[in-house]
Each structure stands twice: as C-alpha cells, then as structure tokens.
Structure 1
Amino acid sequence: MKGLIVAAGQGTRLREKGALKPLIPIRGVPLIERVIANGKEAGIDEFLVVTGYRAEELQERLRDFSRRSGIHVTSIHNRAWDRANGVSVLTAKQFLDEPFLLTMCDHLVDPDILRRLIQARQEPGTVTLGVDFNIDDPLNDPEDVTRVKCEGERLRHIGKVIKDFNCFDTGVFRCTPVMFDALEASQARGDDSISGAMNVLAEWNKARVFDIGDRLWVDVDDPIAFGKAEALLDEGRL
C-alpha cells in the first residue's frame, strides 16, 4: 500500500524548535523520518510526500533519506501550500488511483494503529478515519483536536468546533480515490480542508470510522505536544 504524507505548511507554532517543521529532530530523528519509519513498519511500501513551504530544502532531505534508508519516497510540490490541507491532498490525485493511507507529517502514531487500519475491512468507495474515543482524559489538547461525531462505523460530522461529538480525529485515513472527488466537491463549496471533504463523504454515506482503542498518537504541533512526544518516546510507548 502507498502512503501519502502532508508536509506542506509552515508549522509556525513549533518555530522555536526549528525553521522547517518536518525536519525538526525529536530525540535526534526528524519528524518526517519518524512518520515514514512508522508507516514502513506498519506495511506501507511506498511514500508520497506533499511539500510546500521551503519545498526545495525538504525535497533534498527526503532524497537523502530515501538513499540512506532504501525507502521509496516521491515528493509532490503544492504551490498553494498556504491554503488548507485538503489542497495538498488533492495535489496527489494524479499519483493515486488505488487505496492508500493518508497521514500528517507531525502526527506520531503507534505503528499498530496504521497496521490495523490497513488490515481492516473496507467497503468499496469509502474513506475510513482512525478515531480516538478517549475524550474524557485525552493525551492531545481537547481544544485543538478535530472533533468527530459518529454512529457505529459511520462518520456523521467532523470539525474543530462542533459541539455534538464522541471521538477525536487522529489524522490517519485509509482512503480510496473517492477522497479526491469529495475534496473537489468540498472546495467547490469554499472549504479546502480534509474535514470538509469528510463531511461531503458523510453526506454521500461514504465516510467510516475505525476505533484505535488504547493505542497512542500525538499531534506534534506545539512545544507542549512536542514534550509529550519526547516523553512517550523515552518510555518506548510511541
């Protein structure tokens, strides 16, 4: 299976840790390399990385990583990197005509989450989002995560500020090419985000959720989350 990683934004909230977010080292290993390594461990055999901000620098580092590791990495440049993350995903449309795993360059995820999502049954023409039902004592900032309302395996609504929710978006999706149709439909409405596409898929009854159980994930987008990720790495839990 191929893996698509969004790595186009500036990452301004982590600027104190480094100038280019995907290359910020965490316990000596750049974030993007940890994300790729986790995906490789889970069974992804080829990666596509959408670059944007300071693309040439990131692309050169990815070429070097690919040579060192032997992992196939293709860079795709999103010239409109300052728009929402769905634009980055849509940039990869011409490269993906099969099921693929989608994740973010700053989400450190237990490889078992990825492995189980890859192995899970998926209905044709749907997109499945990994969700975390631990909303009472979450590891990630509850004011910053994206909220999800689901009923059984069906995703009904997703957004940062929705009030009726029962789980959190982990930023890991098992996609089919219908994701690109939904992104285009969402953008036609003026919403460039991945969440916007998932809401379109929910309307089409093509959005599903997958419970990650007690597995851990961290959205490393600010210094506090960075510290949590370091601690979990030190403990061997991530």
Structure 2
Amino acid sequence: MKALIIAAGNGTRMQTVIRGRHKSLMPLLGLKIIERVILGAKEAGISEFVIVTGYKGEKLQGFLGNGTKYGISISFVQNDNWEKANGISVLVAQKYFRENFVLLMGDHVFSPKTLIRIQRLKLKQHECVLAIDKNLDSVCDVSDTTKVMIKDGKAIALNKNLESYNGYDTGMFVCSPYIFKVLEKSTKLDKNSLSHSMRVLISEGKLRTLDIKGSLWADCDTWEDIKFAEKKLLKNLSKPADGILSKKFNRKVSTFITRFLIKTPITPNMISVFIPVLAILTFFLLSKGTYPWLIFGGLMIQFLSIIDGCDGEIARLKFMKSFLGAWLDPILDRYVRITCLRNSL
C-alpha cells in the first residue's frame, strides 16, 4: 500500500520557534519529525510515498531527496494553495492513487504497529478508516485536538469543538479513492478541510475507526507538543519484561543517557561492542578481591546493566534495528554475564 503524507502548512503556531524553517524538519530525539513519519511507515511495510509540500517545499524536498537514503521511493507534489485548509493537499495528489492508500500527517508521529493493524482492515466500497485514541489523557493540548464520537466502530461526529466525545483523531487514515470525489465536491463549496470531508463520510456511514489501544502517537504542532512527544517516545521504550529495578531505576537512567547519545553518530552496534570492554574492566576490579574494588566492581555491574539498555533504545528511537544487532547483542550479553559470574565465584 502507498502512503500519502501531507506536509504543506507553515506551522503558524510554531513560527516563534522555527523562524521560517519547515515545521516537519524540526528535530525530535535524533531525527527530524518527517523522518519519524517516513521511517515509522517503512517499518510498517510501506516503501512508496507521495509527499505534498507547500510552504518551504524546496527545503523539505532537498532534505529528503528521492528517498534512496531511507531505502524507499518518494514523489513530491507541490500545493500552491497551501495557505488554505489541508483537504486541498490531499486532493492535489489524486493522480497518484487508484487504490486504497495510507494517509498520514507530516507532523504526527506514531507506532508502526498501529499502521500495520490499520492496513490489515478490509474496507467496504468507498469506506475510509481513522485510527482513534480512546485515552482522553493522551494529548498535550485538548483544545486543539480533533475529537471524535465513536459508536459501534464508526465515527458519528468529528470536530475540534465537540462537547461530547470518546476519542481523539490521531491523524492516521486508510482511504479509498472515493475520498477524492468527496474532496472535489467539498472544495467547490469552499469547504477545504480534511475534517469537513470526513464529516461527509460520517453522514454517509463510511468512516470506520480503529482503536489504537494505548499505542504511541503524538501531534507535533507546537514546541510544547514536541517536548510532550519526546516524553511519550522515551516512556514507550519500556518493555513488558522489565523487572521492578529496571522500571524504577535502570530504564530511567538509560533513557536519560540515550537522550544525549541519539544526538551523536554513535550507533547501537557501537554500544554493543563497547559493553564487553567495560566488562573486562569490571572483571579487573572484581579480581582485586578487596573491599573498595569489590564496591567499584559492583557499581560497574549495575552500570553495565543500565548501558546495555541504551543500544536497544537508540535502535528503536532511530529505526536502526538490524539483523547484526539482533544477533550480536544477546551473544555479548551472555559473554558479559559469564565474565562477571566467573569472577564472583
């Protein structure tokens, strides 16, 4: 399935921070926001992208190129009416889509698992599906979030100003080409927003919903939103298998370290290879067998446990998972454990 990403707006609410730059090129934990969108979609199996640009479109196109550096293909469409609502950005890409497609926002980050799930849904004729979040405490700015009322798996109302709602619009859709017909009719009436066209689909009973069930997503519309997204991404690094010590201490320290490492050229595999070097130093300290060295050695074992989490965290945050890393990490972990265990006996 192809993906359409709309990234034409000028980020009015963030202009005091971006100062003329493209909002989607703002950094977010080691990657640009738009890179997170693209790489997240790639992890969900998408390799063909159409990106609609407008404001500072040449900057965005110059940074991303044709997608080769990400292992994908990117086509660009310029929306000269980018100052109008975002429905026009979807409409100008019409010629690229003859089948169902994924529609994403250039400033919304998400879990690839959600995108995998939504692509698996089988749509009826002319239907679209919207990923929604029923956790009403999951956003930074409720007033600027599009609310949705859901009943029996379908949206029955959608608006930022809804007083009664039970979910949020996450900005992720799977659409049929029928959406372009709806947009054509709507824009002729000067109803240019994507939300308006979705309300047309609602009136026809054709907007289904998919509950993301607590998966990560974040709208990066303001500087506060970006900082909020950072916290959500870092919190999302925890694993169900983490023990009490890991949850309460190790993971907090490792994510603190990771926040700095992701801004450097250090890769997960570099950390994986560096850990055994630290293990040798730990072995040397423990081999002294006397009180102060045993304390230092014990602290080093704890530090090894913490730093061991950083390679996986960087890999997940920067979409750098690899077969080599998956193979190398557990082997080196076993080496470290055996080294420390033998010396403690």
Q: TM-score range by the shorter chain?
A: over 0.9
Matched, 1:174 2:174: yes
User: Structure 1 residues 188, 164: closer, same or farther in 2, change over 3 A?
Assistant: farther
Match of 1:48 in 2: 50
Task: Output the amino acid matched with 1:145.
Answer: T
Q: Is the 8 A contact 2:102 2:174 kept in 1?
A: yes
Shift of the alpha carbon at 1:233? 3.0
Instruction: Give 2:242's aligned residue.
Output: none
Aligned-partner Cα distance in 1 for 2:231–2:153: 32
Greater strand share, 1 or 2? 1
**2-structure distance, mates of 1:101, 1:142:** 25
Amino acid at match of 1:189: L
d(CA) in 1 for partners of 2:105 and 2:158? 17
Computing the radius of gyration from Cα coordinates, the structure with the larger value is: 2
Residues in 2 aligned to 1:89 and 1:8: alpha-carbon distance in whole angstroms = 10
Residue 187 of structure 1 deviates from its aligned partner by 1.9
- Distance in 2 (alpha carbons) for counterparts of 1:150 and 1:233: 27
**Partners of 2:188 and 2:154 in 1: CA distance:** 24
Aligned to 2:259: none
One-letter identity of the residue aligned with 2:191: D
Mapped partners of 1:144, 1:227: distance in 2? 16
1:73 to 2:112 alignment: no
CA RMSD of aligned residues (A): 1.5
Distance in 1, matches of 2:194 and 2:81, equals: 15
C-alpha contact 1:185 1:200 (8 A) present in aligned 2 = no
Residue 174 of structure 1, CA deviation: 0.5
**Paired position in structure 1 for 2:110:** 109
Q: Which residue of 1 aligns with 2:223?
A: 223
Q: Rate the CA distance shift 1:50–1:144 in 2: closer, same or farther, 3 A.
A: same
Q: How many residues align?
A: 236
Gaps of 5+ in 2: 238-316, 318-345
Runs of 4+ in 1 over 4 A off after TM superposition: none
**Cα distance in 1, alignment partners of residues 61 and 122 from structure 2:** 34
Higher percent of residues as helix: 2
* Alignment partner of 1:20 is 2:54: no
Larger RCO: 1 or 2 (CA < 8 Å, sep 6+):
1
Which residue pairs with 1:129 in the alignment? 130
State the secondary structure of the residue aligned to 2:144: coil
Distance apart, 1:17 and its partner CA: 4.3
Give distance in 1, aligned partners of 2:235 and 2:220: 17
Equivalence for 1:191: 191
Alpha-carbon distance, 1:140 to partner? 3.6
TM-score w.r.t. the length of structure 2 is 0.66
Amino acid at match of 1:87: I
| Corresponding residue number in structure 2 for 1:38 | 40
Residue aligning to 1:213? 213
Structure 1 gaps, min length 5: none
Q: Structure 2 CA distance, aligned partners of 1:31 and 1:113?
A: 18
Q: Render the CA deviation track for 1:39-80: whole Å, top value 9, x for unaligned.
A: 00011121110000011121111216x132221011111010
Q: Deviations over 1:165-197 (max 9, x none)?
A: 221100000000011111122223331011100
